[in-house]
Amino acid sequence: MDYKTYWSILDTPASNIQLSSVSLCIAIGATLFWYLAKKIKKDSGDGDRKIVLWATGSFSVFGIAGYLLLTFLYPDKSNKKALEMLNSPTTPRVEGIVSNFERTVRTTRFGGETIEKFIVGNVQFAYGDAALGRFGSFSQTHNNVIFNGQRVRITYRSRSSYGDNYNSILRLEIAK
């Protein structure tokens, strides 16, 4: 059977944002603020301008240093390691037909959370929309991506925040 990857942990925002890029944005932003403070801020004699210039200059220097360190000396290898883990033969996988699909709403004092549960083979899964605040297309419930009778292959890890009987989905592949 041929499968298409619908979602994996590599699609999450935390996996897509690189720390070196954040450092570069801080450096660029701080340099722009330093330049604006140098050109626009008037010296009133109380040292306020010097403090602003030193503070923005410090952020700029630390941002550039962070970018260089995180790009060349300590590159982020978390995506590579996560991909190796997903493709490892020791990571549990199940392939089969979705059954017992159930959607429930858990209400709390501050709102509600929709939880979707289902079984593939003899492995139970559960996920909800509160963890990522409906950010990703998979965490968003009511999207009818998973339904009874659908053929899927799921890479998962044991245990879930929805109970010890359930497992967490690391990658969802849907039959073509």
The domain that holds 127 is classified in CATH as: 2.40.50
φ/ψ bin of 149: left (φ > 0), alpha (ψ from -120 to 50), beta (otherwise): left
104 plus 139 within the same structural domain: yes
Nearest to 38 by CA among 61, 46, 30: 30
| Same domain for 68 and 40 | yes
The per-residue pLDDT for 135 is 43
- Whether 168 maps to a domain, the answer reads yes
Same domain, 71 and 94: no
Look up the domain containing 46 and give its range.
19-75
* Strand partners of residue 61: none
**pLDDT at residue 136, as a whole number:** 46
**pLDDT for residue 140:** 56
In a domain, 80, yes or no: no
Question: 147: which 2 tokens?
Answer: 């339904």
**pTM value?**
0.74
Number of domains in the chain: 2
Residue-wise pLDDT tens digits, 100-146: 999 888 887 777 778 889 999 999 998 887 654 444 445 555 677 88
Sign of the CA dihedral running 121, 125, 129, 134: negative
pLDDT of 167 strictly over 70: yes
Tokens 């073509």 belong to residue: 176
The answer to whether residue 38 sits within a structural domain is yes
Q: For residue 137, what pLDDT is reported?
A: 46
167 and 118 co-located in one domain:
yes
Percent of the chain clearing pLDDT 90 (strictly above): 59
Phi, psi dihedral angles at 28 (to 5 degrees): -65, -45
Mean pLDDT of the chain: 87
Asked, for residue 81, whether it belongs to a domain, the answer is no
Residues 52 and 110 in one domain: no
